[in-house]
Amino acid sequence: MSRNTPDHPLLAQARGLIPALRARAPEIEQGRHLPDDLAAQLAAMGIYRMLRPADIGGLECEPAVALHVLEILAEGDASAGWCAMIGATSGLYSAYLDPELARKVYGAGAEVITAGVFAPMGQAIPDGDDYIVSGHWRWASGSRNAQWLNGGCLVMENGQPRKLPNGQPEVRAMIFPATQVELVDTWHTLGLRGSGSVDMKVQGIRVPQARSVSLMADTPRAKGPLYAFPVFGLLAMGIASVASGNARAALDEFRDFAGGARTGGARKVLAERAPVQQKIGELEGQWRAARAFLYDEVAQAWDAACSGRELDVTTRARLRLASTHVTRAAATVCREVQDLSGGAGVFDDSALQRRLRDAQTATAHMMIAPPTYELAGRVLLGLPTDATTV
């Protein structure tokens, strides 16, 4: 296939939303969550269905399409792109459920929004055909807009975590209606303020065992090539796409600013100064190179999946490496661009200041944190590696 993103109607729809997202960026940030009407608009477009299986009403987009859509949305506003990313990747659980059950949860209507946190901050105690679930999860992005949420849990047996055959604790994502969840407003942050990544809590709720998923022990029931990609890898790639779109916007917004800005009593506008021209050339090259790395790895993995080949640990490690590299290169681009803007970039109403804060906050996610470099390095050096979350 071409190394360029395949054409898809969602790309044009996402581009059409950029002006509205940019205009409402201050509202999104000040409200500290995605406004309901924007979430509903994304749902009606099919954004949250991008990664759900076609046989339950999903779009089952190939990864390059989904990533490009998220990137475009983040050009409008990074928090909106982040919420779209979380909603879309949360939909991957539908590929693991019995199709009839998946239709009830994820296919009940185009407007169904899901979100959640896989980190095992809860406990699930087996009780007949159910689990009794309690937990308190942080970083529940987009949860205010969701009808269904999921929370990662340690499965407990006799007061101890139950073990998988490989000796690791059994972790399952429990999927429950949002009406059973208490949202705790803890989201006062440096950046991505509009993502609404509050805490969520449940206490002693019943979750049918059939409505739970283990990404370590279960295999997808959906058989399309999309589901050969690891869920953790798709999540990391989604984070990278949001970061990339945010950096693209920072470069474009600086270009518009520099064409008319003078600082320090200078006679020339910023765009006419040779050091600024050189730095922007460097940053443009860094952004394009990092992005090309990600999309090339995605294309190679997609070719393998379409050919029926398993994505081996080296392929998955390169996907994670590319995702981490893009996210961190994007943060560098935003930091350098904000620095070039001088005093104008320190104010809260500066779009470049917000782009920097959003970029830096994105780097905190564990899927693209510095240890992923070590993980990829071990694989690339041929060392024994626990590839469970690669």
205-263 per-position pLDDT tens digit: 999 999 999 999 999 999 999 999 999 999 999 999 999 999 999 999 999 999 876 66
**Dihedral in degrees, nearest 10, Cα atoms 347, 348, 350, 354:** 130
Which residue type does 90 have? S
**Dihedral in degrees, nearest 10, Cα atoms 232, 204, 178, 238:** -10
Cβ pair 304, 297 in contact under 8 A: no
Share above pLDDT 70 across residues of the chain, in percent, rounded to a whole number: 97
Domain 114-213 has CATH 3.30.750.210: no
Please state which architecture CATH assigns to domain 9-95. Answer: Orthogonal Bundle (1.10)
Rounded mean pLDDT, 365-372: 95
Give the pLDDT score at 345. Answer: 87
DSSP state of 163: B
Lowest-pLDDT range of 259-263, 347-351, 364-368: 259-263
Q: Using the predicted structure, report yes or no on whether residue 3 has a pLDDT greater than 60.
A: no
Domain boundaries, the chain: 9-95, 114-213, 229-380
CA angle 14, 285, 333 (to 5 degrees): 70
Cβ pair 103, 57 in contact under 8 A: yes
**DSSP string across 219-257:** --S--SGGGGS-HHHHHHHHHHHHHHHHHHHHHHHHHHH
Give the pLDDT score at 2. Answer: 39
pTM: 0.96
Cβ pair 77, 21 in contact under 8 A: yes
Distance of CA 168 to the CA centre of its chain: 26
Rounded mean pLDDT, 353-378: 96
Smallest CA-to-CA distance from 390 within 239, 231, 221 is with: 231
Q: What are the tens digits of pLDDT across the range 247-287?
A: 999 999 999 999 876 665 667 899 999 999 999 999 999 99
Cβ pair 356, 254 in contact under 8 A: no
Kindly give, in sequence order, each residue whose CB lies less than 8 Å from that of residue 148, ignoring residues fewer than 6 positions away.
105, 106, 112, 113, 114, 115, 175, 176, 177, 178
Rounded mean pLDDT, 179-184: 98
| Upper half-sphere CA count for residue 2 (Cβ side, 13 Å) | 5
Cβ pair 113, 87 in contact under 8 A: yes
Rounded mean pLDDT, 331-357: 94
Q: What is the mean pLDDT of the chain?
A: 95
Domain 229-380 has CATH 1.10.150.120: no
